[in-house]
């Protein structure tokens, strides 16, 4: 019982701390790639505390409600991950949160918010089947959806599911809002869509969506660690190299349109998953 309570507290505290830190390192790394110095590593925390202390302004109450639902779902999914729960359950809880964020954006009449929301829906449509296929691949190899069983698997999953790891990389790029898939909202698209999905969230509610985003990042990086859960060093190397690649891809590619995203991600992602699943079935 105490162990469960401890794990829940761990998920609720470690989740945002780790997510914020990753986001800070990401900003420094991006700045260095653009030959800039970049902000301090704790900058994301400064931003969130400042936003929480700002005057709350909402365009309508449903938006505030949706922001709370989003962070609730995102934090529950991370807590479930720490409790080593069922992988499918975790991903459906996370999907509920993602949808609430879109509903919140749709509840405002701002055209930028609306466009951002529609694009976010298309992004969800792109990555959600891929995530489910990754989870199915893990099940076919280990015979269980339970995280405890998957983490106890004697071999690194990466050796059997290399293509599915690449597919997870696509989903991660979309979820992290990195180029070329940063259609719905990103730091660099003022001229095109202001702040897209997040245009009408402000002050404390924007802070909630930011912390929710950190939770989601931690969840997806946690899913990456499953691919090398046999040793801590392997896990760390896999995580660092994956995230470095994400930042590199973000800086060398440009934002594409949703038609390209949908056809490319589904085309390449579904093919790679299929090849990997057939290979598993044969082997």
Partner 1 sequence: MQALKRFVNGLRAKSPWLLHFDCGSCNGCDIEILACLTPVYDVERFGIVHVGTPFHADLLISSGTVNHRNKKVLANLYAQMPNPKIVVAIGACGLSGGVFRDAYNVVGGIDKVIPVDVYVPGCPPKPEAIIDGVVLGLQKLQGLGEAKGA
240 binds partner 1 (CB under 8 A): no
Integer CA distances (angstroms), 49 to 28, 39, 58, 64, 205, in order: 19, 16, 18, 18, 12
In the complex, least distance from residue 27 CB atom to partner 1, rounded to whole angstroms: 8
State the residue for tokens 């790891």. Answer: 165
C-beta atoms surrounding 187 within 10 Å: 10
Q: Which is nearer to partner 1, 194 or 262 (CB)?
A: 194
Q: Which of 10, 21, 25, 39 binds partner 1 (CB under 8 A)?
A: 39
Q: Which of 9, 13, 57, 274 binds partner 1 (CB under 8 A)?
A: 57
Distance of alpha carbon 187 from the chain centroid: 16
In the complex, least distance from residue 15 CB atom to partner 1, rounded to whole angstroms: 21
Q: Which of 4, 6, 17, 50 binds partner 1 (CB under 8 A)?
A: 50
Structure token digits, residue 148: 């405890």
Q: Which is nearer to partner 1, 31 or 152 (CB)?
A: 31
Q: Which of 129, 162, 169, 203 binds partner 1 (CB under 8 A)?
A: 203
CB 108 within 8 A of CB 64: no
Q: Which of 9, 13, 14, 53 binds partner 1 (CB under 8 A)?
A: 53
In the complex, least distance from residue 190 CB atom to partner 1, rounded to whole angstroms: 3
Site string for partner 1, 114-143 (x = CB under 8 A): ------------------------------
Q: Which of 1, 37, 61, 233 binds partner 1 (CB under 8 A)?
A: 37
Q: How far apart are CA 138 and CA 158, in angstroms?
A: 10
CB 56 within 8 A of CB 204: yes
**Binders of partner 1: how many residues, by CB under 8 A?**
31
CB 251 within 8 A of CB 237: no
Rounded to 5 degrees, φ, ψ at 124 are -60, -40
Q: How far apart are CA 85 and CA 69, in angstroms?
A: 21
**Alpha-carbon torsion 63, 69, 73, 79, what sign?**
positive
Q: Which of 3, 5, 190, 254 binds partner 1 (CB under 8 A)?
A: 190
Q: Which of 6, 31, 252, 275 binds partner 1 (CB under 8 A)?
A: 31
Site string for partner 1, 204-233 (x = CB under 8 A): --x---------------------------
Burial 143-160 (b: 16+ CB within 10 A, else e): eebebeebeebeebbbeb
- For partner 1, the binding residues (CB under 8 A) are 27, 31, 34-40, 43, 46-47, 49-50, 53-57, 112, 187, 190-191, 194-195, 199-203, 206
């Amino acid at each position: 019982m105490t162990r469960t309570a401890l794990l829940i507290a761990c998920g609720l505290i470690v989740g945002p701390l780790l997510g914020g830190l990753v986001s800070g390192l990401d900003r420094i790394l991006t700045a260095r790639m653009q030959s800039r110095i970049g902000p301090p590593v704790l900058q994301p925390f400064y931003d969130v505390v400042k936003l929480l202390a700002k005057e709350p302004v909402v365009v309508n109450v449903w938006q505030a409600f949706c922001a709370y639902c989003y962070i609730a779902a995102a934090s529950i999914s991370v807590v479930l991950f720490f409790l080593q729960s069922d992988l499918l359950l975790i991903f459906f809880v996370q999907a509920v949160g993602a949808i609430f964020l879109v509903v919140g954006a749709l509840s405002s009449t701002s055209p930028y918010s609306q466009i951002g929301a529609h694009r976010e829906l298309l992004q969800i449509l792109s990555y959600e089947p891929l995530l489910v296929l990754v989870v199915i691949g893990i099940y076919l190899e280990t015979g269980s959806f339970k995280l405890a069983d998957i983490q106890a698997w004697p071999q690194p999953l990466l050796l059997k599911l290399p293509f599915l790891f690449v597919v997870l990389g696509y989903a991660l790029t979309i979820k992290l809002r990195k180029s070329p898939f940063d259609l719905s909202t990103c730091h660099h698209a003022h001229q095109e869509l202001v702040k897209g999905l997040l245009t009408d969230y402000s002050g404390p509610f924007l802070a909630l969506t930011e912390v929710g985003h950190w939770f989601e990042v931690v969840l997806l990086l946690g899913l990456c660690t499953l691919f090398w859960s046999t040793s801590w060093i392997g896990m760390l190397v896999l995580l660092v190299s994956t995230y470095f690649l994400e930042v590199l891809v973000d800086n060398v590619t440009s934002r594409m349109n949703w038609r390209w995203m949908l056809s490319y991600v589904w085309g390449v992602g579904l093919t790679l998953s299929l090849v990997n699943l057939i290979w598993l079935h044969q082997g």
